[in-house]
Structure formats: structure tokens, C-alpha cells
Amino acid sequence: MKHSSLFTPITLGNHTLKNRIVLPPLTRQRSGQPGDIATDLMAKYYQQRASAGFIVSEGTQIEPRGKGYSWTPGIYSKEQIEGWKKVCDSVHEKGGVIFAQLWHVGRVSHRELQPNAEAPIAPSAIRVEKVKAFIETAPGVGTLVEPSTPRELAINEIKELVELYAQAARNALAAGFDGVEIHCANGYLVNQFISAHSNIREDEYGGSLHNRLRFLREIVEAVAKVTGPERLGVRFTPLFTSTDQDRIYIGLVEDDPHQTYIEAVKVLEESGIAYVSIAEADWENAPELPSSFRVALRETFSGKIIYAGRYTPEKGENIIKANLADLIAFGRPFIANPDLPERIANGWPLNELDSSTLYGGDEVGYTDYPFYENN
């Protein structure tokens, strides 16, 4: 077997995973309309990839205001819960483990996507630049648009959002998910509270780093009470550069990213959650995450560590052998290769990705990628 370190079993919470290969959260915009409901086609897509040791669902909005892109699924209505049950059942039939990623985009939205065409919500009324939302212009047709200027949340509304995260976790468990991941990355709502560039509040949720981490702390505590910490993970994107590419694709680069995210990880350690997932820059010639951060993360956090980015099996195996990671997520390769673990284990060639079918559409570029046939 090639890359054997990727195929040693590992414990994650209450689960013993069959390998260390992760299908990470990947936005595909194929939920059923109206209602943003997970479909039979989505169930097939996830079932095809259930040979992953661990699956995290695409981001699923916790409430209607959490939506920044048309056709992304939610997890706040009864119909949405029923739709996700099909997905969870299909994955479990193949022996897979799947967590739901709980998502709120905050200011990365447009009035067209908001209830009653109201302004999106955010920690501060600062409009995001160089990032797009996506709205439907006709059935099955849409366009990228500049996000609308958000309005600042009142303190009582922030408390209500914390409970919305907890309720979304209850809904995820009701749907059959094995646990949940809180999306705290990519410039979305939790990330907006953490960042000094998007949070200029002067109350207990702003100012100092400790205060800017308060929203994260409260959500983690509230969700952990629902799921148990052993069924909870958190995703971050700690960027260490400040190029236009970073801001366009991911969002927020802190003045001191090392301190910001090590302190954020300490919040997770206090709650004893199962894992932290680190999404690295993933475009061509993207900068490497500093090794000093990887070492500090391992020293700070006692749970499992997942890395995602432009990982090859070789790179993933090396970082596991160095004891800096426990699991490795493969995004684009897993989209194009539903049997990716088998291909890695056997050294089989990979299907090429059709990037034109990543977002929206039907089974083309979604469930029609072939499994490997060894003739």
C-alpha cells in the first residue's frame, strides 16, 4: 500500500476512522429549490465518497440570514432536516462518518438573499471588498454581485445568534450527523468577529483580542453542550500574508495571525473539542503556513488536527509522520475522484477536475465522475 501513514486507523471523538483522508466542506450549490433542501442527488454524491475516513458536509446555513450564495443548503427548517437525513443515511450505509458544517456568512451576502431584502448582519457596519456574493437571476441561473453594506448587530442579537448555532447543532443531530463543525474561517461571521479589520466594536465583543474571541467562545460552549465536545470541531483560516489574492479568495489577514489563532485555539482547548481544521491558502504558488505555527498549534491543542490545502499524498504523509497533523483533507481531488482513498492506496491515476461544473448544475461534474476500473 502506498502512503501507509494515511491509512492507519485513528480515533476521532467516539469514532475509529478507517483512514486519515478527509472529504472537507466543499460548496457545490446543488440544494433543492425552493427551500435550500438537501436532495437525493446530494445523498448520492456523499455516499460515493464515503470511503473517506471522515466527511464534513458543505457549509449549511444555520438561519435564513446566514446565506451568501444561492442554492446552498440550510439546516434550520424541518424540510432541510429531512433532506439531510437522506445524506446521513446514505453515508452510514457505506460505513462513513459525517459531520455537518454550521455556516453563517454574516456580511458576505446581498439584500437579495436576505429576508425582506434587509441588510446583512455583521459585528460592525463595514462593507466587505473584493469578495462576491451569488444571487439567482432566473431558475438555475445566477450571477456574482458585490455584497451589500451590513448593519451592526446589537448585543441581544449576538446572544440570539449563539442560540441559533446551538439549535442548528440540535437539528444536525436530529438529521443523523455524527457531529458538527463550526465554520469560523474564510471571512464569514465568526471570522468577522475575530478580526480587527471587520470588528471595530467598543463593547464586550470588540476591542481586545480576548473580546473579539468572545463570540467564538460562546458558540463553542453552547454547541458543545448540545453535541458533547467529542462531536465538535472548528475550522479556521490563519493566513500569514496580505496579498490581494488572499483577500479575494479567503478574506481576513490579521496583523499578528500567529497570536490571533493560537489564542483562538486556546478557546477550543478549554472546551476539549474533538478537532481543529486548518484551511490553508490553496491557489497556485500560495504561501506555506509557517512551521512555527504548526508546532505551536500541536503544543497548544490536545485534540486532532486536520490540514487542508493543496495537499498531495506525499505532503500529507510527511506532515503526519512529523506529528504535526492527524488527518489530511483533499478537496478538488475528491470532487473529481469519488474513490480517492483507493486511488491513493494503489497509486492509480486521478480523474481531472472540470472546474466549470464546481458550482450549481446537476449530476454533471458532481456524481458522474467515474470510479477507477482496473483492467
**Does the structure show a pLDDT above 60 at 309?**
yes
Q: Does residue 372 belong to any structural domain of this protein? A: no
Per the model's pLDDT, the better-predicted residue between 173 and 241 turns out to be 173
Q: Does residue 373 belong to any structural domain of this protein? A: no
**Does the structure show a pLDDT above 80 at 353?**
yes
Q: Does residue 374 belong to any structural domain of this protein? A: no
For the whole model, what pTM was predicted? 0.97
Task: Give me the percent of the chain exceeding a pLDDT of 70.
Answer: 97
Q: What is the DSSP string of 206-247?
A: SSSHHHHTHHHHHHHHHHHHHH-GGGEEEEE-------HHHH
DSSP annotation of 353 reads P
Asked whether 266 and 258 are in contact (CB, 8 A), the reply is: no
The stretch 47-65 carries a mean pLDDT of 98
Q: Does residue 192 belong to any structural domain of this protein? A: yes
Nearest to 191 by CA among 133, 269, 304, 107: 107
- pLDDT in the model for residue 374: 74
What's the distance, Cα to Cα, between the start and end of the chain in Å? 19
Q: Does residue 125 belong to any structural domain of this protein? A: yes
**What is the number of H-type helices and E-type strands within the chain?**
12, 14
Asked whether 37 and 80 are in contact (CB, 8 A), the reply is: yes
**Does the structure show a pLDDT above 90 at 240?**
no
Kindly report which listed range (191-205, 278-292, 293-307) carries the lowest average pLDDT score.
278-292
- pLDDT in the model for residue 285: 73
**Does the structure show a pLDDT above 60 at 252?**
yes
Binned at pLDDT 50, 70 and 90, residue 133 comes out as very high
Q: Which of 45, 188, 249, 311 is catalytic?
A: 188
**Does the structure show a pLDDT above 60 at 164?**
yes
Q: Does residue 367 belong to any structural domain of this protein? A: no
Q: What is the DSSP string of 147-164?
A: PPPPEEPPHHHHHHHHHH
pLDDT, tens digit (0-9, with 9 covering 90-100), for 7-19: 999 999 999 999 9
**Does the structure show a pLDDT above 80 at 243?**
no
Kindly report which listed range (51-60, 199-208, 277-286) carries the lowest average pLDDT score.
277-286
Q: Which residue segment(s) compose the domain that 267 sits in?
A: 4-357
**Does the structure show a pLDDT above 80 at 315?**
yes
Binned at pLDDT 50, 70 and 90, residue 275 comes out as very high
Give the span between the Cα atoms of 185 and 279, in whole angstroms. Answer: 8
**Does the structure show a pLDDT above 60 at 375?**
no
Q: Does residue 371 belong to any structural domain of this protein? A: no
The stretch 184-191 carries a mean pLDDT of 96
Asked whether 222 and 166 are in contact (CB, 8 A), the reply is: yes
For residue 183, the domain's CATH number is 3.20.20.70
Give the span between the Cα atoms of 75 and 135, in whole angstroms. Answer: 19
Binned at pLDDT 50, 70 and 90, residue 329 comes out as very high
pLDDT, tens digit (0-9, with 9 covering 90-100), for 79-126: 999 999 999 999 999 999 999 999 999 999 999 999 999 999 999 999
DSSP annotation of 5 reads G
- pLDDT in the model for residue 110: 98
Q: Does residue 209 belong to any structural domain of this protein? A: yes
| Residue 359 annotated in active site | no
Binned at pLDDT 50, 70 and 90, residue 247 comes out as low
The total domain count for the chain is 1
Binned at pLDDT 50, 70 and 90, residue 6 comes out as very high
